[in-house]
Amino acid sequence: MKIHEYQAKELFKKFGMPIPDGKVTNNPEEVGKIAHEIGKPVMVKAQVHVGGRGKAGGIKFAHNAHEAWEHAKAILGMDIKHCTVKKVLITEAVDIDTEAYIGIIVDRAAKMPVIMVSPEGGVDIEEVAAKTPERIMKLHVDPMLGLQNFQAMKLARFVYEDIGIARKAARVIMQLYMTFMHVDASLAEVNPLITTPDGKVLAIDAKINIDDNGLYRRPEIEAMRDLDEEDPSETEAKNADLSFVKLDGSIGCIVNGAGLAMATMDTVKHFGAEPANFLDIGGSSNPDKVINAMRIILRDPNVKVILFNIFGGITRCDDVANGIVAAVKDFKPPVPIVVRLTGTNEDEGRKILEEINLAATSSMEDVVKKAIELAAA
Ligand code: GDP
Ligand code: MN
């Protein structure tokens, strides 16, 4: 789950990170008041779940409250990489001396968080990694031991020569690590971490992605979810207890089991087509799930065919067939349906499908080829 910059800053602040004061609003009329309260020049910052807002015109400097109001009017409603800006953060503008990068992600292969720092801040870290990898220092942290002060200091010293500044930055790196661990993040970063001419170290941008698997035990983080920023189909699928990821192809796939769903996508690609989605209806045999899955997939105008690939085990083929029949009667899909059934109650399933003149095959390869043929027709 992604959260906004202002929310990430709230979390970082709880762990003591130095962050300029600010306030978020969706109302341009409130912006003047907020800027007035801050009483200094401010930054008006678009709050959307995408990066590179600065380059897209979503971050503007304002000398005074009036200018802040004007910028906010322009930024609210703006489209940044297909996201409409609905909120702006008004935050104290600061004088920047240097911009650095500090971030943490989970290194799945190493089974450890890895901290990355670079004196090249404010730019895309991927670009730094590609062009000047020697400007990045990485450190894996043993989660059983936690980040040690000397390690944070070593990272900070890679970025800053000045010992006083490095000490302050080491503390920020420690706070970054604490936040990352505490909220079950999959990514936490500050880009840029800045120094001011008077020797302060401040986090002026913040990004945190949360590991969805940790959300069940973090209701206060789940409450930060912004449904406006999420794909409505994915939200609906989540509420229907389906695991669904929208993709760009034309073959809509409904499969039981994540492994089989992956294999189905691979097979579709192998025969030269692209799946429209990943969708796992899971192990249970509830016809409602099939109906919900079909409704969600059919909302995508790219979908030219729906492919069912069901390997009956705990999932019963007759239940799935009942779901398909109910869905077809319910909303008469505008695209053809092809079905592969094999395993538990497949004969019963086939019989049920006869009612709507659907012949199910038992071969995965056949059904995928058939789907691709129909999608191209
Ligand atoms: P991003 O473009 O989405 O990464 O948004 P950032 O918050 O990182 O802002 C982009 C850039 O705008 C930063 O790298 C800074 O160079 C500049 N910027 C942001 N806030 C301030 C500020 O308070 N003062 C100054 N002088 N520049 C700022
Ligand atoms: Mn940034």
Question: The domain that contains 84 carries what CATH number?
Answer: 3.30.1490.20
Catalytic residues: 101, 189
CATH number of the domain enclosing 340:
3.40.50.261
Same domain membership, residue 135 and residue 77: no
What pLDDT, in 10s, does the model give residues 130-172?
999 999 999 999 999 999 999 999 999 999 999 999 999 999 9
Contact 236, 203 (CB under 8 A): no
Count of structural domains, the chain: 3
pLDDT of residue 105: 98
Percent of the chain with pLDDT over 70: 99
Same domain membership, residue 109 and residue 77: no
Same domain membership, residue 108 and residue 55: no
Does 177 reside within a domain?
A: yes
Could you give phi then psi for residue 2, rounded to 5 degrees?
-95, 150
DSSP 8-state assignment for residue 157: H
Q: Is the CB of 204 under 6 A from ligand 1?
A: yes
Q: In this model, does residue 52 exceed pLDDT 90? A: no
Q: Which residues of 319-354 are buried (b: 16+ CB within 10 A; e: fewer)?
A: bbbbbbbbbbeeeebeebbbbbbbbbbbebbbebbe
pLDDT band with cut points at 50, 70 and 90 for residue 266: very high
Does 1 reside within a domain?
A: no
CA distances from 240 to 280, 281, 329, 332, 339 (A): 11, 9, 20, 21, 22
Same domain membership, residue 122 and residue 32: no
Does 14 reside within a domain?
A: no
What pLDDT, in 10s, does the model give residues 79-94?
998 889 999 999 999 9
Query: What pTM, to 2 d.p., does this model score?
Result: 0.81
| Residues within 5 Å of ion ligand 2, judged at the Cβ atom | 191, 205
Integer Cα distance of 283 and 50 in angstroms: 34
- Between 241 and 70, where is the model more confident? 70
**Closest ligand by atom to 204 CA:** 1
Q: Is the CB of 52 under 6 A from ligand 1?
A: yes
Does 267 reside within a domain?
A: yes
Q: Is the CB of 96 under 6 A from ligand 1?
A: yes
Residue entry with tokens 């698997």: 213
**Half-sphere exposure of residue 218, counting CA atoms within 13 Å on the CB side?**
18
Distance 156 CA to ligand 2 centre (A): 19
pLDDT of residue 376: 93
Integer Cα distance of 105 and 6 in angstroms: 20
In the structure encoding, which two tokens stand for residue 179, read together?
């936040």
Rg, the chain, Cα only: 26
Integer Cα distance of 171 and 173 in angstroms: 5
Same domain membership, residue 361 and residue 257: yes
pLDDT of residue 285: 67
Integer Cα distance of 197 and 121 in angstroms: 16
Contact 340, 309 (CB under 8 A): yes
Same domain membership, residue 153 and residue 37: no
Same domain membership, residue 80 and residue 165: no
Same domain membership, residue 73 and residue 106: no
CATH number of the domain enclosing 104:
3.30.470.20
Same domain membership, residue 371 and residue 235: yes
Same domain membership, residue 242 and residue 125: no
Same domain membership, residue 134 and residue 66: no
Domain containing residue 44: 21-92
Cis peptide before 192 (omega within 30 of 0): yes
Contact 94, 196 (CB under 8 A): yes
